[in-house]
Chain A
Amino acid sequence: MRAGKIASLCLVLIVAAVGAVLSLLATSLPWLASMHPVLRLCLTFLGLATVSAAILLPLGTTLDRTVARLRSYIEATGTERRTATFWGPKWARPITRALIGAVEQFRQREQMLTNELREVQIRHRVSEAERRQIESVLHVLRDAVLVTNAFGDIVIVNEAAGRILGFDHTQALHQPLEQFVDDECLCQLINETAETANFADRRHVEHEISVPDGQGDKEQTLLFLVTLACLENHKREVGGVVTILHDLTRVREISQMKTDFVSKASHELRTPLSSIRAYVEMLVDGEATDEESRQEFYRIIQNETERLGRLIDNMLNISRIEAGIVQIERENVDIKHLITRAIDTLEPEASQKQITLNSKMAEVDLSVEGDCDMLFQVVLNLVSNAVKYTPAGGRVTVAADSDNLTRSVVVSVSDTGLGIPPDAIGKIFDKFYRVENYKRVAKGTGLGLSLCKHIVETLHHGQVGVESKLGMGSKFWVTIPMRYAGSQAA
């Protein structure tokens, strides 16, 4: 290897020397002075070319080999590169070292950028997934969520917001708020919140909005709790406003129903209590002068005490059934007997109003497996309602038969009363509900039918229903399975 290198060096030196000699001869020898100038110039050029070739050829070969090694180094990876050593002629090593350093830096930079790119891609995918998740959550919410940016454009909006405020939420993104929200008061609230730049506090405002009721072109006015919060951007300036609309209508209705119930219940409880107190005081004051009057007073006090007890039982039963803590005693109950008992109980009230109260019971066994007291309560409530809402001179009929197909007993109570308005039919079994126009006709707590439904459906797995025509009377019916199918008490 070394001998080869020396030979190559000698060859280069010889060629260079020949070239140099030729050049010198062409310029300095006198006997060549007479030579044609063009020929002499050619000879000089030949000499210089030979010298240049002798120097540049090995230099080119060395550079070519260096570049090839450099390329293979760049293309090498991992262990190969780590084990690579510096090479080439000594004079070229500073250059290759500098080049390798530059390549190494470039490679590190490239690796860093690749890593960063990968990380950005992962973050992007995660953030996309999170965005989709948040959007799904927003769309599931019943509350309307609307976020506007500092320029008043909608940047986040959910389906509920579109539904409540009457626009297509998919079209509203990045559009001006006023273009889609046709509620001046709400827009003003949002703009005011942005102007206040108060990032610490949320603003709560009750606001009514007319919303399509989903049945034709009708609109209903709903009450919303509007929560407004100012968003802060990275420069600590107003970045936008988040607006949430929470429907308070149902909460208010329930609250009103509860208030009404307490008021009605209080009235209903006070009425028998008034009689009891008044008659007791009359007895104490000696106002009943004869034994017959005293006996009458005692009887009234007893009846009113029982009435009070029944009322309290009704209220408690409904609460217990709803809470699922009622243990019922199942036994064989003769429905015919219950109907007879109910009619006997309400006959005086019916007679007072000249209402004919009769029964039509099939000549078959009408026994069911159930709680005797609870089922009596159902029949009594239905017949009592029929008597209450039937004008004087009317007729109430209690019918009972068996349905062999469903293996149940069907009891119906028909009257020639006021009937139920069509819009009230769906709510008639709701707790506390009373037909508005009939509140003046008769007193009640709005609990009786709700209790019937609970007893029949929840505790006996039967069904309740009503058919009615306004002004023509109503027919309430219940079906009770003859045999209890459940494995445990409700």
Chain B
Amino acid sequence: MAGRILVVDDEAHILHVLSLKLRNAGYEVVTAVDGEEGFELACEKLPDLIITDLQMPYMTGLELCRMLAADEETAHIPVLILTARGYALDEEDLKIGNIREVLSKPFSPRRVVQMVRESLAAEADRVRTDESKPEAA
């Protein structure tokens, strides 16, 4: 299994199409329809990467990122943001938690899969580097 991905979006079609694309690419996919459910699943399933929409009822994508960053168990999980309001994010927002990329809607599922691969590879490199540091010391 290439990795476990949590997809959070209140649009059923987006959840469906992303799940299908990621599953076809070999990933295990977990889905949530709002930020609250997303955070619960993130804590429970500890995915390797999270893809979340920005504007959602009950808890926005940014609030979800804050919650993830505040929890030791989930703080390291890389996050990709999918948004229909790209310009609403400023530099300060992007510093919240572990946000790796922001993709504007309408998006290409192909591109999403490519970014998931890159992010997971970068995360794996980071973990390897962190693990090798104490040995080198």
- A-side residues, CB < 8 A to B, are 263, 266-267, 270-271, 273-279, 281-282, 285, 287, 300, 304, 440-443
Contact = CB atoms under 8 A, between A and B. Distances in A.
B117 interface: no
Interface string B56-85: 011110000000000000000000000011
Nearest to B34: A440
Contact of A277 (B18, B58, B107): B107
Contacts of A443: 10, 55, 57
Contacts of B121: none
A274 B107 contact: yes
A282 B55 contact: no
B106 A263 contact: no
A281 B109 contact: yes
Interface in B23-40: 24
Contacts, number: 68
Given A266-B85, A440-B57, A275 B13 contact: yes
A304 B11 CA distance: 11
Contacts of A275: 11, 13-14, 17
A285 B110 contact: yes
Contact of A304 (B13, B55, B58): B13
A300 B13 contact: yes
B13 A267 contact: no
Contacts of B105: 270-271, 273-274
Nearest to B111: A281
Given A282-B20, A443-B55, A443-B57, A276 B88 contact: no
Interface residues of B, number: 25
A287 B20 contact: yes
A274 B106 contact: yes
20 contacts: A266-B84, A267-B55, A270-B105, A271-B11, A271-B84, A274-B84, A278-B13, A278-B17, A278-B18, A278-B109, A279-B13, A281-B109, A287-B20, A287-B21, A287-B109, A300-B13, A304-B13, A440-B59, A442-B57, A443-B57
Among A267, A274, A281, residue most surrounded by chain B Cβ atoms (within 10 Å): A274
A440 B64 CA distance: 14
B108 interface: yes
A267 B55 CA distance: 9
B84 A270 contact: yes
Nearest to B12: A352
Given A270-B84, A273-B106, A279 B57 contact: no
B108 A263 contact: no
B88 A263 contact: yes
Nearest to A439: B57
Interface string B79-118: 0000011001000000000000000111111100000000
Nearest to A441: B57
A442 B34 CA distance: 11
B17 A279 contact: yes
A12 B20 CA distance: 152
Contacts of A276: 106
Among A285, A440, A442, residue most surrounded by chain B Cβ atoms (within 10 Å): A440
